[in-house]
């Protein structure tokens, strides 16, 4: 979901969904300002110049899965999507979204380097647990 906040545009989970790291409740979102702390009150002046979501597969997807799920048990039959965004300051970010039919994950890959510490869960909280 794309929203304009007092700090600029952000991409975040759609209503009823949560993006959060596995061991905490710290909502994940993608800010157009692309800063880690102390964002400025820029409103709509902080925007994205590119938002591109495309399927990921082959060696690209295998490399991301290897980083994201190294040491985890179970099948890893994930399909994936790559999200590339650019900001008004000509900064860019890449994320991957992975789904296997039972679970959904995302991982940040700044400068095209994925880091397992940035892995986050994607949870549909709009439905009661099964």
DSSP string, the chain: -EEEETTEEEEEPPTTEEEE-TTS----EEETT--SS-----GGGS-EEEEEEEEE-HHHHHHHHHHHTTT--S----EEEEEEEEETTS-EEEEEEEE-SS-EEEEE-GGG---GGG-EEEEETTS---
pLDDT confidence tier of residue 30, bands split at 50, 70 and 90: very high
Q: What is the mean pLDDT of the chain?
A: 91
Q: What is the pLDDT of residues 79-116, one digit of tens each?
A: 999 999 999 999 999 999 999 888 899 999 988 889 99
User: What does the domain layout of the chain look like in residue ranges?
Assistant: 2-124
| Average pLDDT estimate for 56-84 | 87
Please report the pLDDT score of residue 129 as a whole number: 67
Structure tokens at 83: 């999200």
pLDDT tops 80 at residue 123: yes
């Amino acid at each position: 979901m794309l929203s304009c906040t007092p700090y600029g545009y952000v991409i975040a989970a759609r209503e009823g969904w949560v993006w959060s790291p596995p061991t905490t409740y710290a909502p994940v979102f993608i800010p157009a300002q692309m800063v880690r702390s102390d964002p400025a009150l820029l409103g709509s002046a902080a925007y994205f110049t590119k938002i591109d979501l495309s399927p990921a597969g082959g060696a690209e997807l295998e490399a991301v899965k290897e980083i994201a799920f190294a040491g985890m048990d179970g099948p890893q039959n994930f399909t994936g999507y790559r999200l590339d965004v650019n900001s008004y300051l000509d900064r860019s970010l890449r994320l991957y979204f992975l789904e296997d039919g039972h679970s959904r994950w995302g991982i940040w890959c700044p400068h095209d380097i994925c880091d397992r510490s940035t892995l986050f869960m994607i949870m549909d909280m709009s439905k009661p647990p099964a």
